[in-house]
Amino acid sequence: MTLMDALKGHDEQAVLHETERGETVALQAYRDALDEPLAPMTRDLIETQLREIEGIVERLRTFETANRRPPLDQGV
């Protein structure tokens, strides 16, 4: 599922999940960038942005957990 699919279906849980997935991909890109030799100012900027994205991902996970729907009663 893509973010656009989730938005079209108005499924809040799917939107949160897809947003978290996208931010997690961004985190890896920032971490990969920090494995490269960088000028000090560039490294500082990337580290700052990485910390901000880490905070966003943590908040998204909190929202996703808080908004998780209970399982449907299967009649068991």
pLDDT (tens digit per residue) in 3-56: 555 556 667 777 888 888 899 999 999 999 999 999 999 999 999 999 999 999
For residues 5 and 13, the answer to whether their CB atoms sit within 8 Å is no
CA 58 to chain centre: 8
> What is the distance between the terminal CA atoms of the chain, rounded to a whole angstrom?
30
For residues 35 and 9, the answer to whether their CB atoms sit within 8 Å is no
Decide if 71 is inside a domain.
no
Decide if 54 is inside a domain.
yes
pTM: 0.69
Decide if 32 is inside a domain.
yes
What domain range includes position 16? 3-66
Number of structural domains in the chain: 1
For residue 56, which amino acid is it?
I
Decide if 75 is inside a domain.
no
Tokens of 5: 């699919």
Tokens of 23: 């931010």
Decide if 72 is inside a domain.
no
Place of tokens 């960038």: 33
